Every structure is written in C-alpha cells, then in structure tokens.
A and B are shown apart, each in its own frame.
Chain A
Amino acid sequence: MRFVVRRLGFFVLTLWAALTLNFFIPRFMPGSPVQALRVRTRNQLSPEKLQQLLTAFGFKPHQNVFFQYFDYLGNMVTGHWGISIGATLGEPVRTLIAQALPWTIGLVGIATIIGFVLGSLVGVVAGWKRGGKIDSLLPPVFVVTSALPYFWVGLLLILVFSVWTNGWLPSDFNYDPDLLPEFSGPFVANVVRHGILPAATIVITSVGGWVLTMRNNMITTLAEDYVRMGRAKGLSNRRIMVDYAARNAMLPNLSGFAMSLGFVISGSILVEYVFNYPGLGYLLYNAVQNTDYPLMQALFMLFTVAVLVALLICDFAIAWLDPRSRAKA
C-alpha cells in the first residue's frame, strides 16, 4: 500500500511540476505571448471570448499571479483547455485533441509496443546464444540502428517505398483524403496501409535499443549463480531461459522502457511531422508554428500525463514481477 501511495504521490508531484513550468515559462521569456494573442485574435473574437481565452491561458493580467495560477491549474485538470488561436481559430482545444488522440495512440502506441516486445525477444535469444553467429553480427547492427534519427529513417523509407515505387506505400496522412471514415473492411485496410511506413520507422529505430539492453541484461543474468543452480537441478533449457534468466533480466528493461517513453514521444512528433500523420505530435507542431498557446499548453500536459501513466503501469508491473521491490517500498 505504501508503495502505491508513493508512486501516486510522485505522479501528482511531477504533473504539478509540469503544469507549473508551463505556466511560468511564458512569463519569464522575452516577448509577450499575450500580446501576440491579442494581436492575432483582435478581429476575429469578441471581447468576451478574448477574456475567456485569456483566462484559459491563465492570464488575468489584472489579477494576482497566485489567483491566476490556481485558476490555471484548476482549468487544466478539469479539461477547460480553452480555444485554439492558431490556424484552427475558435475551435475548442478539447475537440482538436480528441480528434488527434486515437491516431497517436494507435500508431505510436502499437508501434512502440511492437518494438519493445520484438526487441526484448530478440535480445533474450541473442543473450542466450552467446558466441553464436547471431551474437557477433547483430549487436553492431543494432547499435547503429538505435542511433539513427527518427526523421531520417522516415525520409529514407518514404524515398524507397513511396517515391521510388510510385506510391506503393502511402507517405502521407492516416487514410486517403477522399474516403469517409467508417468501420468497414476497406477503410480499415486503408488505414493500415497508411500506417505501415510510419510504424516501420518507429519500430526500426527503437528496436535496436531494446535488443541491446535485453541482451546485456541476459548476459549478466546468465552469469548468476541461480542460473547455474537451474542447470544443476536438471531443468530443461527452455525453462532456465524463461524462468530463471529472462524473468530476471527483464526487470531493469521494464523500468528503462518507462524512462524512455519521453524519447519515444519526441520521436513520434517527428514521425508524424514527416508523414503528415494527424496525431498529437502533428498537432503540437502546428500549434508551435502558429503560436497557438492554449493548444500547446494542453498538449504538453497531455504528454506529461501519458509518460507518467506509462511509468505508473510499468512500476506496478515491476512490483508484480519482482517480489523484492514490494519489500523495498
């Protein structure tokens, strides 16, 4: 129980830190975003809407900073995220995010999990078969792939599989613009086709890291006495590999997975940009291009929440898998 409380406490604390950062940064940076806001919307929004916007943004210039701050916190947490002031002027931020969210979760979420699972499995086998051909060839390959920039891999894939093949695999968007979204076979197939290249980009760049860390963990674990004991007890190779080695080697990997999510998210922003994929990353990019502060703020909070939730899930998974961590808390 104390364990749960501690993790939740950390969650809340970090979220608070993120929101506070988001609140204070514009106030300390040169130039006034509020001015920009005013200028941008002068002819398009009524004074009341403008006021609403400023409030959502946390700016009640005549109000005490602390009140603004608490107003802002309250708004953020309850979903009052204001109105977009960018290219999609007037649209509630909530709607924009709701439209983009499923695409990012679908593409980035699934691709990341594929990368992690695939990478871990390959890593387990590579670590187990030390000294084999696999082990001497693969690691350098994966060292290289894990250092490649996301966007470059995306560009390369577009070049090879889209431009050079005259559009065999689509390089833009999440589905053909002339199709209507529906739950039908052809539509779903179309969505999948559009998702192949971006997903491949994410998997190619992230899988290497997982393979390497899992392999290294396996090698260290295989040197442990309890693995030798497993052999001494006459257990089958498979059982030793799974129950004694992998189950222990996997633990540091899981915590690494959560920590790396921040990096995965940054990669996803670039991937969505390269492929014009209308997910949250693409939304953030557009928000930045158009200095759409309300949208940027809400997205930043969302990204933070996503990482924290994933961390929480991983923490609980580790607690479930590793009896020692339950005791430590």
Chain B
Amino acid sequence: MTALLVDTSTAATAQPDAVRRRGGGLLRAVLSSKKAVVGLVLFLVFCVFAIDPGLFTTVDRPNELAFDPSLAPSSQHLLGTTALGQDIWAQLVFSTRQSLVIALVAGFFATVLSVLVGVTAAYLGGITDDVLSLITNVFLVLPTFPLIIILATYAGKGTLLVVLIVLVVTGWSYGANQMRAQTLSLRNRDFLESARVRGERRSYIIVVEVLPTMTSLIVANFLGAALYSVLTAAGLQFLGLGDPNSSSWGTMLYWSQNQQALQTGMPLWSIAPGLCVALLGVSFALINYAFDEISNPALRPVRRRRAKRSRA
C-alpha cells in the first residue's frame, strides 16, 4: 500500500549507482583519513626506493665486502657498516625491491586464489561449496609457518620462487572464507536475480555484477595478504631459509643475528632492516584499517563537535 508513496526508482539503480559513486568518492575518502595518508606515503617512499635505489646511495653492489667492517654511522655510511664490511644503508635501500616484490606478487596471487575459491564456492553452492569449504578450512587450520619451514627445507632452502609459491599456498585460505561469506550474503539480492532472469551466463554475473560490489573487501584482502607475506618472508629469511646471498631485509637480519650484532655493539645492523619490515607492514595495516573505516562508517572516529543545546 505505502509503496505508492515511496519513490521506487532509486532502489533498482542503487547498486550500480553505488559502485560508480564509490569510484571517485573512495579516493577522496582514503585521502581524508590521516591513517591512510601516512600508510600511503610510507608505501610510496618504499616504492621509490625499490624502483631506483641508485637515487639514495652511491654504492652499486651492496653485498660486496667493499668497506671496513663494523664502522659506526657517519656521513659516508649513514648507518655504518656490517661486520663483513658492507654499507648498511645501501643494503637497506637495495633490499627494498625484493621485499616489495614479495609483498605485492604473493599478495596479489593469494588474493586471486581466495576470490576464485571463495566466490565460486558461495555462488555454485551444493557439493562444490562443501568440498571447497572443507579444503579452505583445512588450509586455514594447518599451522602455516611450520609448513612453510618444512616446505622450504625440502625444496632446498628456497629461491625467491619457492618462497612466493609457499606464501601463496598458505596465505589464500583466510581471504577465501571472507569472500565466501560476502558472496553468500549477496547471492539472493535482486540485482543478481534480474541478471539471472535476463539469461546472463554465470561467469558474466560473477565478474560483472558480483565482484564490483566486493571491491573494498578484495582490496582489504590484498592488503592483509601483502602484510602476511612481508612478515612471513622476513621471518623465513631471518631463520636462514631464504637465499643467504640475496638482497633482502630478512637476509640482512639473518646475517646480523649470525654475527651477534646486538651483543657486539652494532645494533643498527639488526634494528634497521627490522624497522623497514615493520614500516612496510605498518603501511599496509594502516591503509587496511582506513579501508575498514570507510566501508563501515560506524567505525569512523566520532567528531567531537556536537549540536549545542539551547534552552527552550
């Protein structure tokens, strides 16, 4: 009865409208959050380091034992040198590339996999759903780090490729569950129903109708996977399971631990690469948190300015 009073023209177009509007509004929303800005700035700084390390240091080959060992920080060596005679700052800058690559590549593939499995399981339902969910939950529960360690060992103390594969294989399951839950809640919405009735193919519906509404979840997932990859890769390398000759923060940590950096008065050698790992991880976490706030307005910081009460 009262439907006549409510203008229904908004409801049907609400979904595509919302998506289109989100495009521009999203960027603005992200930029207005202090946390996101800090995170983005950090991330961009690291990107610059990775793209052109030469901008920040004169050293060409950071792993070469070219300098006097164990020097304190000075104008020539911003962070001093390692016990083996390498410039710490140079190593740090050059190592950015590998860590960033790991984070982005592993994060990307893990997200792709979790979207594939999660959305398919929810959309197709039935036995497919049961089987895929079981696989997801099993992977979710398997203690990943021990698994990674064991895999890395069996594969002969991993090259970068092994580390990446292992990260993707262990990192997709968390996101898959989230994707599945979200898709399930969308499954019976009207705009999907109308697509079905129009006779669109299932794959079309999934790609064109479902995925765009889950953009923020997918991005959040990607950031989480990237964070996970950075920390886990660093942990692996720290334990000595990466390539000890490679240029990465984790490897720097390995060597510094190996040479007892803390105890022998060269704390920067340990703390600096660790700080970089931390900062890169923090940048992802900040952007992720800002995203959370954007997609769930209830979580945004409450504005202190309230309406003033006036005496009647």
* Residues of chain A at the chain B interface (Cβ within 8 Å): 10, 13-14, 17-18, 21-22, 25-26, 29-31, 33, 130-131, 135-136, 139-140, 143-144, 146-152, 155-156, 158-159, 163, 212, 216, 219-220, 223, 259, 261-263, 265-267, 269-270, 273-274, 284-285, 288-289, 291, 296, 299-300, 303-304, 306-308, 311
Contact = CB atoms under 8 A, between A and B. Distances in A.
A308 B140 CA distance: 11
Contacts of B146: 265-266, 269, 284, 299-300, 303
Nearest to A136: B301
The winner among A30, A151, A156, A265 for most chain B CB atoms within 10 A is: A151
B145 A266 contact: yes
Nearest to B278: A148
B151 A13 contact: no
A328 to B, nearest CB: 14
Interface in B257-307: 257, 262-263, 267, 270-271, 274-275, 277-278, 281-282, 284-286, 289, 292, 296, 298-299, 301-302, 304
A29 B109 CA distance: 22
Contact of B141 (A148, A262, A266, A285): A262
The 3 closest A-B pairs by CB, nearest first: A266-B145, A152-B274, A131-B302
B231 A149 contact: yes
B146 to A, nearest CB: 5
Interface of B: 35, 134, 137-138, 140-151, 153-156, 174, 227, 231-232, 234-235, 238-241, 253, 257, 262-263, 267, 270-271, 274-275, 277-278, 281-282, 284-286, 289, 292, 296, 298-299, 301-302, 304
Nearest to B142: A18
Contacts of B153: 288, 291, 296
Contacts of B267: 159, 163
A284 to B, nearest CB: 6
A144 B134 CA distance: 33
B147 A21 contact: yes
B32 to A, nearest CB: 15
Given A151-B235, A155-B270, A262 B298 contact: no
B284 A147 contact: yes
A86 B31 CA distance: 54
A288 B241 contact: yes
Contacts of B292: 216
Contacts of A270: 235, 238-239
A311 B296 CA distance: 28
Main SS at interface, chain A = helix
A152 B275 contact: yes
Contacts of B140: 259, 262
A54 to B, nearest CB: 17
A241 B235 CA distance: 40
8 contacts: A140-B35, A147-B278, A152-B275, A155-B262, A265-B143, A270-B235, A288-B149, A289-B240
B249 to A, nearest CB: 10
A19 to B, nearest CB: 11
A316 to B, nearest CB: 16
A296 B275 contact: no
A109 to B, nearest CB: 15
B139 to A, nearest CB: 9
Contacts of B271: 152, 155-156, 159
Contacts of B137: 10, 14
B301 A152 contact: no
Contact of A262 (B143, B278, B302): B143
Given A147-B284, A163-B262, 16 more contacts: A25-B154, A140-B286, A143-B286, A143-B289, A149-B231, A149-B234, A150-B231, A155-B271, A259-B174, A261-B143, A263-B145, A265-B143, A270-B239, A285-B239, A288-B153, A307-B142
B156 A30 contact: yes
A307 B146 CA distance: 12
A323 B33 CA distance: 39
Contact of B274 (A155, A265, A291): A155
Given A29-B155, A159-B271, A266 B144 contact: yes
Nearest to A292: B153
Given A288-B150, A288-B241, A144 B142 contact: no
Contacts of B151: 25
Contacts of A289: 240
B154 A29 contact: yes
Contacts of A151: 234-235, 238, 253, 274
Contacts of B239: 269-270, 273, 285, 288
B285 A147 contact: yes
Contact of A135 (B134, B154, B285, B301): B301
B155 A30 contact: yes
B275 A307 contact: no
Given A17-B138, A25-B150, A146 B285 contact: yes
A274 to B, nearest CB: 8
A152 B278 contact: yes
B36 to A, nearest CB: 11
A33 B143 contact: no
B244 to A, nearest CB: 13
A31 B138 CA distance: 28
B143 A147 contact: no
Nearest to B289: A143
Nearest to A29: B154
A22 B292 CA distance: 37
Q: Name the residue among B145, B253, B271, B296 with the largest chain A CB count within 10 angstroms.
A: B145
A219 B257 CA distance: 43
